[in-house]
Amino acid sequence: MRKTHVLVVDDDENYRNAVQRILQRAGHRITTAHDAADAMRTVSTEHVDLVMCDVKMPGISGLELVRRIHEAEPDLACIVITGYGGAEASVEALKAGAFWYLEKAMDGDSHDVLRRLAAQAIEHGQLKAENRRLQQELQGRYHFDNVIGQSPALRNVLDVVSRVAETDSTVLVTGESGTGKEVIARALHFSSPRAERPFITVNCGAIPEELLESELFGHVKGAFTGATHHRIGRFSMADGGTLFLDEIGDMSPNLQVKLLRALQDQTFEPVGSSETQRVDVRIVAATNQNLEIAIQEKRFREDLFYRLNVIPIESPSLRDRDGDVALLVQHFLQRFCERNSRGPCTISDDAVRQLMNHDWPGNVRELENLIERLVVLRGEGEIGIEDLPANLRQTASIRESAAPPKVPEAGLSFHSVVDRFEADLILQALEHTHWNKNQAAKLLGLNRTTLLEKIKKKGLSPEE
Ligand SMILES: Nc1ncnc2c1ncn2[C@@H]1O[C@H](COP(=O)(O)OP(=O)(O)OP(=O)(O)O)[C@@H](O)[C@H]1O
Ligand SMILES: [Mg+2]
């Protein structure tokens, strides 16, 4: 079992040491700080279970410290140590968010009170944290039901997810950006027997190489410049739960070796330590890169790939999910309307049809962002085609007018039909814009030079 970690904050060294001795004997791990700033540094870099702090300290007072901690870490219990008869201070302490207060005395009885109070405060904090976690889970933001879509492509994926959720097998989720790889990873965790344990994410692409190792495996105090405290890594945080290694394709070759070892025997050493640690984590990795190409280009280790790719899941792109666009549109519409507390928000059938025709290179994320923008910009009432951004309106008008001619039995001359077809589109755009070539080029999605060349080549001119 991990030792509970108590931070003792007091500018009075004698008292600090006395509290440290008493609590250490009760089995806690102790860190001390001589002022509030020092304490805040520890709280922001390490996991702390209890803060015991003096009221009167030079600089930021103990009460202000409690207020700041309460804001940043509402579940972290604080006990305030007041002077003799500090009735007023004790009321203030509770108001600031302290769990309880204690008079500064050091006789035999008070040792006992101190130990018991510390144990109660820690338990209270842990219960609060547990409660919050359960509530979040109940809200089920990431549960299966919230993976929107009925398309066969998505159903196949969810089918695999529900079958592998029971196991501890490593899963590799691939797919284009914005297709919901993280959504799939969370659905997997929260429908697995590990659901009550943590789901921990590491974005391997966003963290610089030199920090990523300590992020994953933790470090000991003094392991490198700036490592002023012992710190646990994400592998340990995820113990009993799931570790989601996002953007795995961006991991440096050096770290790939260390990760491979951690995956093979579920052991690792924190940076700067030779002590081997063992954890029980289920790994889900994700990438939008093609790892087979990365292997050929020697950017990704083949052995790591096979270790990760035990259960491959490909998150389908939105254009391959027949019918899902309409469902997602309704889902996001409802969500953003609620969030913006606006009246019933609807979208016209025409507009939905238009969205279904788009090919969504940014996938679900692009659709989500668009709906949010439309809700905010529209304010109230129905969203119609005219509210859609120009590129989405255009696709349809071009598509409609661009139905190609049928190939007759007798055949046709491909080049001349295409030529005429092009000329027709260009003429329409020019007439529509009263021969404003800039605007016509925009309407056609061509650059101006290309349009001018075509006009010249085809000998097009305004009809008299
Ligand atoms: N099936 C779905 N139902 C509801 N929301 C979804 C679905 N798929 C994706 N989303 C939403 O789309 C956004 C993008 O999803 P996510 O972050 O999981 O994509 P990703 O594949 O990890 O993208 P990237 O490769 O860019 O990291 C998120 O806001 C997510 O909530
Ligand atoms: Mg992602």
Q: What is the pLDDT of residues 75-132, one digit of tens each?
A: 999 999 987 666 777 888 888 889 988 888 777 778 888 999 999 999 999 998 888 8
Both 93 and 150 in one domain: the answer is no
The CATH number linked to 424 is 1.10.10.60
Residues 150 and 206 in one domain: yes
Q: Domain holding 36: CATH number?
A: 3.40.50.2300
Statement to judge: residues 123 and 156 lie in one domain: no
Phi, psi at 171, each rounded to 5°? -125, 135
Last residue of a domain, one of 88, 108, 137: 137
Residue after which a domain boundary falls, among 121, 137, 153: 137
Three-state secondary structure of 331-345: HHHHHHHHHCCCCCC
Neighbouring C-alpha atoms within 13 Å toward the C-beta of 348: 12
The pairing of beta strand 199-203 with beta strand 171-174? unpaired
CA 156/CA 102 separation, integer angstroms: 59
3-state secondary structure of 276: coil
Residue 441's contacts (CB-CB under 8 Å, 6 or more residues apart) are 447, 448, 450, 451
Mutational pocket test of ligand 1: of 365, 369, 371, 372, the residue with most ligand atoms within 8 Å of the beta carbon: 365
Taking residues 379-403, report their average pLDDT: 73
- Residue to mutate (ligand 1; options 151, 161, 182; most atoms within 8 A of CB): 182
Residue of the CA atom closest to atom 6 of ligand 1: 180
Query: What residues have their beta carbon closer than 5 A to ion ligand 2?
Result: 182
Contact of 179 with 363, CB cutoff 8 Å? yes
Please count the structural domains in the chain. 4
Whole-prediction pTM value? 0.62
Q: Are residues 177 and 257 in the same domain?
A: yes
Q: Is 464 part of any domain? A: no
Q: Rounded to the nearest whole angstrom, what is the distance from the C-alpha of residue 323 to the centroid of ligand 2?
A: 23
Q: Which domain CATH number covers 239?
A: 3.40.50.300
Asked if 220 and 262 sit in the same domain, the reply is yes
- The mean per-residue pLDDT over the stretch 248-277 comes to 93
**Domain presence at residue 284:** yes
Measured CA to CA, the distance from residue 259 to residue 267 in angstroms comes to 10
- Residues 167 and 312 reside in one and the same domain: yes
CA of 179 to the centre of ligand 1 (A): 5
Query: Quick one: 348 and 385 in the same domain?
Result: yes
Indicate if the alpha-carbon torsion angle 98, 99, 101, 106 is positive or negative: negative
Using alpha carbons, list the distances in angstroms from residue 95 to 8, 146, 388. Answer: 20, 39, 51
| 327 and 312 share one domain | no
**Span 261-290, mean pLDDT?**
93
Q: Residue 324 CA: which ligand is closest? A: 1
Do both 156 and 300 map to the same domain?
yes
The range of the structural domain enclosing residue 336 comes to 319-390
Query: What's residue 352's pLDDT?
Result: 94
> 248-252, 366-370, 442-446: lowest mean pLDDT where?
442-446
CA distances (Å), 387 to each of 23, 325, 364, 410, in order? 64, 18, 19, 45
Q: Whose structure tokens read 């609620």?
A: 338
Report whether 357 contacts 399 (CB < 8 A).
yes
Helix (H) or strand (E) holding 199: strand 199-203
Mean per-residue pLDDT for 363-392? 90
Question: Does a structural domain hold residue 76?
Answer: yes
With respect to residue 437, please indicate whether it lies within any of the assigned structural domains. Answer: yes
Q: What is the mean pLDDT of residues 193-212?
A: 90
Within a domain: residue 292? Answer: yes
Q: Are 98 and 61 in contact (CB under 8 A)?
A: no
Amino acid at 323: G
User: ∠ at Cα 259 (137, 160), nearest 5°?
Assistant: 45
Residue 60 sits in the same domain as residue 170: no
Read off the pLDDT of each residue in 252-263 and give the average, rounded to a whole number: 93
Is the confidence at residue 400, as pLDDT, over 70? no
Q: Residue 141: what pLDDT? A: 46
Select from 137, 169, 185 the last residue of a domain. Answer: 137
Contact criterion met (CB below 8 Å) for 259 and 304 = yes
Distance between Cα 236 and ligand 2 center (Å): 22
Residue 36 lies in a domain: yes
pLDDT computed for residue 271 by the predictor: 93
Structure letter (DSSP) for residue 272: T
- Answer yes or no: do 71 and 102 share one domain: yes
Banded pLDDT at 140 (limits 50, 70, 90): very low
Where does the pLDDT of residue 303 fall: very low under 50, low under 70, confident under 90, or very high at 90 and above? very high
User: For the residues of 12-58, what is the DSSP string, one character each?
Assistant: -HHHHHHHHHHHHHTT-EEEEESSHHHHHHHHHHS--SEEEEES--S
Residues with CB under 6 A from ligand 1: 147-149, 175, 177-183, 288, 315, 364-365, 368
Average pLDDT over residues 299-322: 96
Residues 59-70 have a mean pLDDT of 92
Asked, for residue 409, whether it belongs to a domain, the answer is no
CB 210 within 8 A of CB 257: no
331/286 same-domain check:
no
- CATH number of the domain where residue 332 is located: 1.10.8.60
Q: Atom 18 in ligand 1: which residue has the minimum CA distance?
A: 180
Q: Which of 318, 363, 364, 367 to mutate to test the pocket of ligand 1 (most atoms within 8 A of CB)?
A: 364
Residue 397 has pLDDT above 60, yes or no: no
Averaged pLDDT score across all residues of the chain: 88
**pLDDT higher than 60, residue 180:** yes
| pLDDT at residue 218 in the model | 93
* Mean pLDDT score, 239-244: 96
299 or 141, higher pLDDT = 299
Closest atom of ligand 1 relative to the 184 alpha carbon: 18
Please provide the DSSP assignment of 231-253 as one string: B--HHHHTTTSEEEEETGGG--H
Question: Atom 7 of ligand 1 has which residue's CA nearest to it?
Answer: 180
